[in-house]
Amino acid sequence: MSIDKNTVRKVAKLARIRISDAQEDKLVGEMTNIFKLIEQLNEAKTEGVEPLSSVVDMALPRRADEVTDGGIADKILANAPEHTAGFFVVPKIVE
């Protein structure tokens, strides 16, 4: 796929980038090379290849889903300056 100056100007306008005429010529070549590389990647045979989330095939360690240290609300509320009905009392912020 070949890129022309009109396409470069349009991309620059969409990206809100100001480019000079000299930069246009340079960007035409660079964008053409990028699209050539993308076309090469599209030629790779990927049938039957599973997607990767990491290059290392390993499972993450998991811990047991157990409830621990529950039922100590009284101990926690004992540290609060003020509490009511099992909740912390805080000053009203929004009027």
The CATH number of the domain holding residue 22 is 1.10.20
Determine contact, residues 32/1, Cβ cutoff 8 Å. yes
Q: What is the pLDDT of residues 73-89, one digit of tens each?
A: 888 899 899 999 989 99
Which amino acid, 54? Answer: S
Of 29, 23, 26, 41, residue with least CA distance to 3: 29
Q: What is the pTM of this model?
A: 0.48
Domain assignment of residue 17, yes or no: yes
Determine contact, residues 83/75, Cβ cutoff 8 Å. no
Domain assignment of residue 24, yes or no: yes
Distances from the Cα of 76 to the Cα of 61, 81, 84, angstroms: 31, 11, 13
Domain count, the chain: 1
Alpha-carbon span 8 to 19, nearest angstrom: 9
Domain assignment of residue 82, yes or no: no
Question: pLDDT 10s digit of each residue in the chain, 95 long?
Answer: 678 999 999 999 999 999 998 899 999 999 999 999 999 988 888 888 888 877 787 788 888 888 777 788 888 899 899 999 989 999 888 87
**Which 3 state secondary structure label does DSSP give 53?**
coil
